[in-house]
Amino acid sequence: MLRQYQQAIAQHRQRIYSFAHYSLRAAEDAEDITQEVFIKLWQHLRKVDHEKLGAWLMRVAHNAVIDHVRKHRNSNAHLDTFVDVEQQCGDDESDARLDQKKFQSCLQEEIKSLAEAFRSIIIMRDIQDMSYGEIQECLQMSESQVKVYLHRGRRKLRESEVLRQLFDTVAGRGKPMQAAARETTTNSDEGTRHG
């Protein structure tokens, strides 16, 4: 059983930590959630259907995140939003790279500020590449509900003024980010002329 438990930790730790990290503002909180999830797994290991272990863990993580947000709603959470960026960006980084990182950091912030249902579904679907079926099982929703929440969440991100301004700035400057965006757009819109 112990070996089974350790295998489960090794297999799912990344997914659980990522989910918590992209949902919460402080890295320490994500670590706490990860620990909490695996403690619960140890307590319920015998009862859990091992064929659905991934979905079970994600559901526990999702509930733990909700509880955590409720508990800490009024407290001043330690924000380390840009820590990752600062760690990853050296002095010799180009402006374009910095812009990309800045955009991604802002994006992470915007994702974290979304309402819980939108945020969880965007993280599960777009970042963690989970299938609609898996998300459905984790969140106890129908597939159509998942799709609706996903589309609404994405639309809310597109409505973000910060992201749009950053996009306009970068696009106006003609840095590689804009080129990359143009390139990806062209790839997906074969035969489409852009005005």
Partner 1 sequence: MASNNDSQCYFVQLQIDSFLDGEMDSAQQAEFHAHVGQCAVCAQELKFAHMLHESIVSLPQLDCEDAVLEPIHRLGAAEPEHRSWWRDTLAWLDSMPVFARYALPALLVALIMLPFVFAESSEVPGQMAPPLLAGQGTGPESTEYSTADVQKALADLNLAMQYLNQVGLRTEVMIGDRFLVTPVRDSVRASFEKGRDRTDVPPRSDPIF
Contact between 127 and partner 1 by CB under 8 A: the answer reads yes
Pick the stretch among 27-35, 58-66, 74-82, 134-142 that binds partner 1 (CB under 8 A): 27-35
Residues ≥6 apart with Cβ < 8 Å to 171: 177, 178, 181
Segment interacting with partner 1 (CB under 8 A) among 17-25, 61-69, 72-80, 135-143: 17-25
Query: What is the Cα–Cα distance from 106 to 112, expressed in whole angstroms?
Result: 10
Q: Does 52 interact with partner 1 (rule: CB under 8 A)?
A: no
Q: In angstroms, what is the C-alpha Rg of the chain? A: 19
Residue among 109, 133, 111, 107 at smallest CA distance from 120: 111
> In the set 80, 86, 116, 189, which binds partner 1 (CB under 8 A)?
189
DSSP letters of 83-94?
A: HHHHHH--TT--
**Cα-to-chain-centroid distance, residue 146:** 16
39 near partner 1 (CB under 8 A): yes
Residue ranges binding partner 1 (CB under 8 A): 1-2, 5-6, 9, 13-15, 17-18, 21-22, 30-31, 34-35, 38-39, 42, 50, 103-104, 107-108, 111, 122, 126-129, 150-151, 154-155, 157-158, 163-164, 167, 171, 177, 180-182, 184-185, 188-189, 191-195
